[in-house]
Structure formats: structure tokens, C-alpha cells
Structure 1
């Protein structure tokens, strides 16, 4: 009997050990299964990430190629031809390398450079530019006082200028912000300035009843082309870049300037004078080569300040204003190259290029 009990005991113990081994195997197998599953999921995620990174690299390469294509076009093609071609500034997309590539070129000196509000050589407010920006803001219903925070942001002193903002204001924000006290490098920096936000800078400022009060029903095609919806976006009228060296030129390129910018050039500027510029551009296939072409037009012979004609005030001829306020030749261009892979991976390269000095004033990739 003792032997049987011992044998039974041994048999039961063996059975228990067998059960434990089975449980252990099952546990190990289950763990291995979940580990393998997790490994597969992680591997799949890593694979997808690698594919996305590869697509992103391809898209970025295409964007750079488009960007360099735009720079090359600026250097090799005469500006007059660029304007007269109709599509040279914004050519259609081109399939390339398994994706799509395209570029656009925007003449930035057809806009008002906000850095011009402060004279860089002596750090003082530029009264002529303040008057120009005031006229622009008035057309959009923006208060003149919003000019002063921009001046305070750019100048190097710490004294607030009439409704502006300096270190004390920005340091109390939550989270606090550091004032730059230096010129803007890009338009996006304006969003950091007191009183400005994305809606004001990048969305339409057209009055709600504008279309109702300015029906196109009885307008000519030229009158319809004079003002478009994009003209009511502030960022299409202003820019921000730091000029190269001592070559700062705040004259506005009339071949690229939108309606509201041209209306801001003088207190004596009229809608009829802006329309004359448009008609002259159309007559000359999209490009006015010489300012002299405007001189004898009746709209520019109207009397201006100091018994000058509007033409002389704008062109600077026979006045104490060196260089005048307008020009016909573009010098500063924003070039944007875009690469797209599989219609969903998009990369963009943007630069502001100084053509006469063959210098990149600003460059970014996103």
C-alpha cells in the first residue's frame, strides 16, 4: 500500500508537472504571439514612416527643382517677356519623377515693404512711408494707430510710439513674447506684432456691402479687371524683406502693383489714373517699359502738391524727392517651388530673390 501511495503520488506529481509545462508553453506561445503581433505592427508603422519619408524626400527634391527653375527663368528671360508671355510667372504643373512639380514667381516690389516704415540708416520713422501705409490702411478700414506697433517692433529703441508696443507689453503676454527690435525677414513675422492676426493679414478685408454697391453689370472688361477679390487681402498689398546691403529702394513697381497700392502712392492719386496704368499695360501687351509713357497722359498731368503734376510727384522728376515713388522694372521676386507625390505629400520651397544683386534675401522649406 505504501508503494502504491508513493507511486500514485509520483504519478500525480508528474501529471501536475505536465500541466505546468503545458501552461508554460501556452503562456510562452501567447507571449510570443503578442510579441510577434506587436513587432509586426511596429514594423508596419516603421515601413509606412519610411515610405512617407521617402515620398517626402522626393517631394522636397521636386520642390527644390521647381524653385531653381524659377530662379533660372528670372535670370535668363527678360522681364518684359515674362510679363508678356501671360503664364511665365505661374506656369502649369509638370509631371516629373513620379510626381508633379511647379513654380510661381511674384514681383514683391509691387507691394509695400513694411520694413520701410523705419529708416534703416538712422533708426527713425520714415514719414513718407507712414503716409503711404496710412492711405493703404484707410482703404481697408484699418486704424492708422496700427502702424506704430510695427515701427516699435522694427526700431532698436525702447520708447513706445503713440499706441505702439515695446518690451513691457510683450513681456506681460501669456506666454510672454520677445520683441524683435530689428527688421522683418518675412511677412509671417507680422502676426507677432500687437494688433495683428492671421485673419487681418491673410483673409479678405472687403466690406460686406462692397459687391452690392459696386455691381459689375455696367462695367467694361477693363473696369472689371481693375480690382479683384485678391486685392482685398492685406498680404497681397504688403511685404516684408530685408534689402541687400545699402541698396534699399522703396519705389513701387507699377507693372506688378495692385489697385490699392497704386491708390496709396499719393493723396492726389485717382481711380482714373490707376485705370490709365492698366489700359497702358494692356496696350503694351502687359508691360510698361518706361515711366515716360505716363507723363503726357491727362490723368497724370493733374496738379499735385507744391504745384507739381501727379506724374512729377510720383516719378520724382523736378522735385527734391530722389528717385520718386514708382518705377517700371522689377528687382525683388518671391519664388515658390512646389513638389507633390501621390497627390498627398506636398513640399514647398520659398525664397525672396534680389535679381540685380543675384542674392537670396530669404529662404525657407516646408
Structure 2
């Protein structure tokens, strides 16, 4: 890598780079590369949640240990490090939203809401206030400059690509953001951390949603919204009762396990969740087939692009051919497991065209 990876005018010694630091290996390497470029470098960490008290485990994003790790890296690099308390906005924009989405029978993506709010909006403002020329992060995506300005592209390493979670990045934010790790595989980043003698080189990646203890999101939602524990009926599409459940929070569209329905001629899947009646509606897999989805809160990054595109409706889903008219996403072939509350992200090859939140679906049958 070289100083040009930050895509800033020369000389770099006259530039100021603010780095969003979580205390992990990725953002630490970004800070080291920024410092090595010759630019004045400042590390910023957002205190988003009291993880030690509420979660009872280490290793989550922005936990107390992670803040100490970020500070230690900055001390090692000889750069300034600031911590800002944004727990209030994180609670409102991410945690409360997470609980409310489950209560409404939708499947939330808190990482996107965090990027839309505390991480990019708040960090963006802080970096501007500090007079930065750019805000650099450790996300695995690529930023390219095309004929109409900055573009968002998938990471070179498909296994690490985070573009699905960054579809809501605005054009103004993309102009200011830099993602220097987007062209690297994770092993190369760890090797750089070791080469740079960073203490976090061997630190494991965070696997869970940062504010959810041990991955048990249902317990957290019930703690925040006790009514989430209200049970109800499991019914088929004709309204026939097939069983009972312990709360909508335990289900998502496309789910098969956990229904505990016996005597069926074929496996049942969750087709939809009705928050008004507390019903889980189930049916055979063929009933999951969706021909179109209605999107809300669309963020479009591709200007007047009119060419072919693919849509990704879950973080681990394979992109499939589709067309989009600004609100309605139509799949070339029936798509399965399309869940309200999730995001649909649109691509042209590796370029992110934009995306939106799935508000409703149209069945293929």
C-alpha cells in the first residue's frame, strides 16, 4: 500500500486524516497507514454502550477494553486519540429501533442503522469539526472515482465484503470517506498489523451484534420490551391453528427450525409475521417465492444508471438479476426468504447502485 490509497491531494504532509477506531485490527491498521503516509492523523472512538456492565463479556465493538486497545495503538503510533460519548444516540437510533422492529414483526439490521447514524453521521460531523480532509475507516469496501463522482464498490475479498451494510452511505459522505483496506484480504491486513508491531495483530474479530450478549438477541429485546414475550398461534394460510409460539421475536421469514409442528406432509416455513394478531403464518417452501418487493428509504448512489443490475436481499444471499423502478424491485426469477425489515442492495457488477428497506413483498404464485 502507498499514500495514494487515501486518495488525497499531495503533499500528504499538508493533510489531516481522522480515523474511526474501534480497537480492532482493521481500524488500527488504517490508523498506522494514515500515520505512515505523512498526514497528520487523529484517531476517534465513539463510546456507544457500556458493554462491560450490560453485556458481561469482552470483545465487543467499543467495549472498555476496545477503547483501551485503540488508545494503546494511537500511543504506539504517536498520534492523538479522542473518545466521544454517543451512547444516547446509539440507544435511540440503534438499540431501541432494533427492539421495535422485532415487535413489529420485521427482521432488523442494526449494523446498517449504526452506520447511518452514530458511525457515519456523528463521526462525519466530528471529523469535519476537527478540520479533517477525510474520514478513514476499516470497512472492507472500495471507493472509486467515476465520471459522476465517488462510487462505492464491493471489496476485493468476497469473504470480507461489507458493501451490503453500507448501502445507505450518502453521496456527500462517500465524497469524504476513505476505505484503504477494500483491496486487501484479511490475512494481509493481519500481516500488516504484525509488521507494524501493533498489539492488536492477533485480536479476534467480533462475531456478534455488538450490544447483544452472547448472541441472545431475544433476551435483550424482552428486557427492553417485556411485551415481546407475548405468545400467539402458529397458523397456516387458511388460518388453521397448527401450534403455539413464545413470541414473534423468535422467528423470521424463511425460517424452518423451531416451529415444532408435527404431522405435516411437507416441511413448513415461516411465510410472514402478523404483529397485530401475534400470529406466525407458515406454509410450504413454494409459498415463500416472491416476485417483487416494495422498498422504502431508498438511497441511490448511481445517478442516471439504467443498465442491468442484481439485487441482494440478505447479507449472505447471492445477488440475483432484478429491475428497479424507484420503489418496486422485481426479480427475474422468484426469490425466497425476502423478509420485511431487511435491506435490498442493488449492484452493477461490483458497483453499489443503492438500496432500500424491504417494506412488503408480492408472492410469485
Q: TM-score range by the shorter chain?
A: under 0.3
Higher strand share goes to which structure? 2
- Whichever of the two has the greater Rg, that structure is 1
TM-score by length of 2: 0.22
TM-score by length of 1: 0.22
Greater relative contact order: 1 or 2 (C-alpha under 8 angstroms, separation 6 or more)?
1
Higher helix share goes to which structure? 1
